[in-house]
Chain A
């Protein structure tokens, strides 16, 4: 790691209690503590959140768009996984 080549971190912010942390962007820092402080300084300047997570970008494993076919396609032929596949008789008010 050099001055020009700090580590890349991904930043996640929880907008309010009860909600999931949401990815908001990334930044460079020399370590986790600094990343957290930088994230506070740049991503939460207008009370965007109440909690921040920083994760080294290289620690994230991501699926590739090219693999989408084998990753996600099998769901397409399983419409029976959705409630709407089973029509509800109009006599039934709530289910």
Chain B
């Protein structure tokens, strides 16, 4: 017995060495490969959280579909929200290759054991928020997702490539809303400024806590689940957003923002981390509403799933009858 255990451990060590060697040489890990259990769990956590974010992210924008200012705007917004549903599907399916079921993931979301991006717990108060979300929230998501196209898990990397292709339309349509408002009447410009002020900071928080505070970072980098750190990605986003804000002619929400020649980056204000943790832990404006709505939609959709099952049964019975 003891001998067998030693052999198992030795085997495991060898498997882990081969696994790490694949990762070190930039080879992808595929579903049927051996992988350490912690790698699998880490991916399930990150990928399902990503999938939940896509799905919950439909709510703040769905709020404005019926009130979009023109038919064209309505069609564009509807199309974007449809894309988010599709992205959720890609990611749930990719996560399922790790051996967790869709139902388990949905339950984890609805009972609060799984998280989603905290940005979606902020309310969408004006049409300007549709602009700011597309531009900043999707922009921050793209920054992260472009990096994840090189993640070490094959199905995750491939979903990211698919998603990034579709995502750039999301950011551009948002920025176009901002251009029109910012270059419009004084009231419209004010609306754009207000949306920028409210969504700028939570967008920066989307990259997660500082590297020094991030519980999973070191291991995620070693396993190449993450390819760039939270702080590096956040810096990238801060840098590229400056000229976009300038072009709109709006005031930058960060009064302390300053170009640092030595670093080759913008220095910026510290984020309100108390707010970040408070929203993550369920105390944002909309946390309860988002989950309640998800549960309600899921329950109200039960008859569709039942009808599908009934139809399938009917077809099978007919098949059996015809065969007899």
Q: Measuring CB to CB, which residues of chain A are less than 8 angstroms from any residue of chain B?
A: 14, 16-18, 20, 51, 78, 80-83, 85-86, 88-89, 91-95
State how many angstroms separate the Cβ of A88 from the closest Cβ of chain B: 7
Subset of 24 A-B contacts with CB under 8 Å: A17-B28, A17-B154, A18-B27, A18-B157, A18-B158, A51-B30, A51-B32, A78-B75, A78-B79, A80-B75, A80-B79, A82-B169, A83-B172, A85-B169, A86-B169, A86-B173, A88-B172, A89-B179, A91-B246, A92-B243, A92-B244, A93-B240, A95-B168, A95-B175
Contact B28 A18 (CB under 8 A): yes
State how many angstroms separate the Cβ of A87 from the closest Cβ of chain B: 8
- List, in ascending order, chain A residues with CB within 8 A of B285's CB: none
Asked if B72 is at the interface (CB within 8 A of a chain A CB), the reply is yes
Contact A91 B243 (CB under 8 A): yes
State how many angstroms separate the Cβ of B80 from the closest Cβ of chain A: 9
Q: Who on chain A is nearest to B236 by CB?
A: A94
Given the interface pairs A17-B22, A18-B154, the reply to whether A83 lies near B175 with Cβ below 8 Å is no
- List, in ascending order, chain A residues with CB within 8 A of B176's CB: 86
Q: Who on chain B is nearest to A91 by CB?
A: B247
Q: Which of B27, B158, B168, B169 is A20 in contact with, Cβ under 8 Å?
A: B158
- Not counting A17-B27, A20-B158, a sample of 7 additional A-B residue pairs whose C-beta atoms are within 8 angstroms of each other reads A17-B30, A81-B79, A83-B171, A86-B173, A88-B175, A91-B246, A92-B244
Q: Who on chain A is nearest to B158 by CB?
A: A20
* Most chain A CB within a 10 A radius of its CB, from B22, B139, B168: B168
- List, in ascending order, chain B residues with CB within 8 A of A88's CB: 172, 175
Q: Who on chain B is nearest to A18 by CB?
A: B28
Asked if B76 is at the interface (CB within 8 A of a chain A CB), the reply is yes
Bound form: Cα–Cα A76–B201 in Å: 38
What 1/0 mask marks residues of chain B from 7 to 32 whose CB sits below 8 Å from any chain A CB? 00000000000000010000111101
Q: Which of A18, A82, A93 is B243 in contact with, Cβ under 8 Å?
A: A93
Bound form: Cα–Cα A31–B157 in Å: 33
Bound form: Cα–Cα A86–B138 in Å: 15
Interface SS, B side: helix
Given the interface pairs A17-B28, A89-B179, A95-B175, the reply to whether A81 lies near B22 with Cβ below 8 Å is no
Contact A80 B139 (CB under 8 A): no
Bound form: Cα–Cα A78–B72 in Å: 10
State how many angstroms separate the Cβ of A25 from the closest Cβ of chain B: 22
Contact A80 B247 (CB under 8 A): no
Contact B172 A95 (CB under 8 A): yes
- List, in ascending order, chain B residues with CB within 8 A of A93's CB: 240, 243
Q: Who on chain A is nearest to B167 by CB?
A: A83
Bound form: Cα–Cα A43–B313 in Å: 39
- List, in ascending order, chain A residues with CB within 8 A of B158's CB: 18, 20
Contact B169 A81 (CB under 8 A): yes
State how many angstroms separate the Cβ of A92 from the closest Cβ of chain B: 6
State how many angstroms separate the Cβ of A46 from the closest Cβ of chain B: 20
Bound form: Cα–Cα A64–B102 in Å: 30
- List, in ascending order, chain B residues with CB within 8 A of A83's CB: 168-169, 171-172
Q: Which of B27, B32, B240 is A95 in contact with, Cβ under 8 Å?
A: B240
State how many angstroms separate the Cβ of B266 from the closest Cβ of chain A: 14
Q: Who on chain A is nearest to B153 by CB?
A: A18
State how many angstroms separate the Cβ of B77 from the closest Cβ of chain A: 10
- List, in ascending order, chain B residues with CB within 8 A of A14's CB: 30
9 smallest CB-CB distances across A and B, nearest first, come from A18-B28, A86-B172, A83-B168, A17-B28, A83-B169, A17-B27, A91-B247, A80-B76, A86-B176
Q: Which residues, 271 to 308 on B, are CB-close (under 8 Å) to A?
A: none
- List, in ascending order, chain A residues with CB within 8 A of B240's CB: 93-95
Bound form: Cα–Cα A70–B174 in Å: 30
- List, in ascending order, chain A residues with CB within 8 A of B166's CB: 81
Contact A95 B76 (CB under 8 A): no
Bound form: Cα–Cα A17–B72 in Å: 42
- List, in ascending order, chain B residues with CB within 8 A of A94's CB: 240
